[in-house]
Amino acid sequence: MYRSFFILFFSSLLSLGLYGQPLGFSLANGKKKVQIPIQIYSNLIVVPVVLNNTLPLKFILDTGVRTTILTQKAFTDILNLQYSRKYTISGAGGENLIDAYITNNVSLSMPGVESRGHAMLVLEKDYLELRNYLGTDVHGILGYELFSRFIVDVDYEKKLLTLIVPEKSRKYRNFQSIPIKIEDTKPYLITTVTLDDGTTLSAKLLVDTGASHALLLDPFSDNRIHVPEKVLSSLIGRGLGGEIYGKIGRIENLQLGSYNVHSVVTNFPDPNSYFDSLKVGKIFRNGSIGGELMSRFHMVYDFPEEKIFFKKNASFKKGFHHNLSGLTIKAKGVHLNIFEITEVRDESAAKKAGLEVGDIIENVGGITLRDLNLSLVNGLLNNKPGKKVKVEVNRKGVRVKSFLILADQI
């Protein structure tokens, strides 16, 4: 995928005990099931949320987060919410200081869903820059408090979220199921991974809907996990602690139930780059699976029964590719319709075509981009290997035309 977003929660925040607050979600009017339209950006699930019955916002649905996060304090300031505590969190090496606040008794309603009495972590500002790198207004992250209350059905194809009251066991025809283990509010599964050299191991993986990558494996969690020979060194994600660097390569196969997913693009974080997010408290894991993999399935999360149900969708046979243009693009401006190149990967299609950091993209493939969003721009630039794409940019006031031959470097 173009860029993986890891929603990192440092252990100092995870130990706040906020999850002890009342879980206030319930379906309105005594209903047993409700369906909510969703949006998908970079394989992340975005849901509509109304804060304190007043402010309409958009949140990412994230299995990897315990406590609800609001990414900008300005929104709670508008509502004159009170803060019970302030925290200053440092990243690796004591750098990247982050200011965050706790506010209590918040309501977070969605269509057909009522809530009350939530605690929420409020960031001083959008350290994650979600809106800029997703290209849409995203204001927060919603996690365990929703998954612990309902069976959560995510249909990526229909872009539909279904929340079901877990009163009794439900049967999902044509779905497979595998057990998960909820540890410290997060879901883990154990599955078989085959590396590029044929090495097979049983890996403990976080099921992380808040990450856009397909698979991440930590070479330092097991001496059998090694970085493949053919890789790219790259920025692989962004978290509260800053940018995350590593290698991007492929594994031979990942097994999910009876499904075998081949040639999966996999992130291998560099030492210390991933900080403490692979090991929170005493919980150990080998890595995580994210939205690029899960979006190829219809997924149902049953935290109360510690199971997930899944069946493949039309995207299952789609090949895994990593950033065929070699560009990282940031959406800017009030309407997020100014597309600035922030990174050009070495030896990539974009590098060979002469594109530069700071260029403003104005046209891709003959389509003027002022009325498009970042997801569509990235889609045009990641069509398929071998595709020739014309790109026009504004470079310090000069119009420059380039032709890219999209290529997969791994």
CATH code, residues 11-164? 2.40.70.10
CB atoms near residue 176 (< 10 Å) = 15
Q: What is the pLDDT of residue 129?
A: 85
d(CA 274, CA 279): 10
Assess if CATH 2.40.50.100 describes domain 327-405: no
> Where in the chain is CATH 2.40.70.10?
11-164, 176-295
Backbone angles phi and psi of 129, in degrees to 5: 50, 45
Q: Which two tokens stand for residue 63?
A: 């299995």
pLDDT tens by residue, the chain, 410 residues: 333 444 443 333 434 444 444 457 999 998 999 999 999 999 999 999 999 999 999 999 999 898 899 998 999 999 999 999 988 866 544 455 788 999 999 999 999 999 888 899 999 988 888 889 899 999 999 999 999 999 999 999 999 999 999 986 667 889 999 999 999 999 999 999 999 999 999 999 999 999 999 999 999 999 999 999 999 998 888 776 667 889 999 999 999 999 999 999 999 998 866 544 433 445 789 999 999 999 999 999 999 999 999 999 999 999 999 999 999 999 999 889 999 999 999 999 999 999 999 999 999 988 887 777 898 899 999 999 999 999 999 999 999 999 999 999 99
Q: What is the pLDDT of residue 246?
A: 92
* Cβ contact 63:289 at 8 Å: no
Q: Which residues pair with 119 in a beta bridge?
A: none
Residue 107 CA to residue 109 CA, distance in Å, equals 6
- Give SS3 for 105: strand
Tell me the two tokens of residue 402: 């380039």
pLDDT at residue 13, as a whole number: 43
- The structure's pTM equals 0.90
In one-letter notation, the amino acid at residue 98 is I
Per the structure block, which two tokens stand in for 295?
Answer: 């979006």
Tell me where in the chain the CATH 2.30.42.10 domain(s) lie.
327-405
Residue 176 makes CB contacts below 8 A (sequence gap 6+) with: 257, 258, 259, 309, 310, 311
How far is residue 100's CA from residue 167's CA, in Å, rounded to a whole number? 37
Closest by CA position to 7, among listed 378, 288, 321: 288
Do 81 and 120 meet the contact criterion of CB atoms below 8 Å apart?
A: no
- Predicted local distance difference test score (pLDDT) of residue 292: 96
CATH topology classification for 176-295: Cathepsin D, subunit A; domain 1 (2.40.70)
Annotate 15-54 with b (16+ C-beta within 10 A) or e (fewer): ebebbebeebbebeeeeeebeeebeebbbbbbbbbbbbee
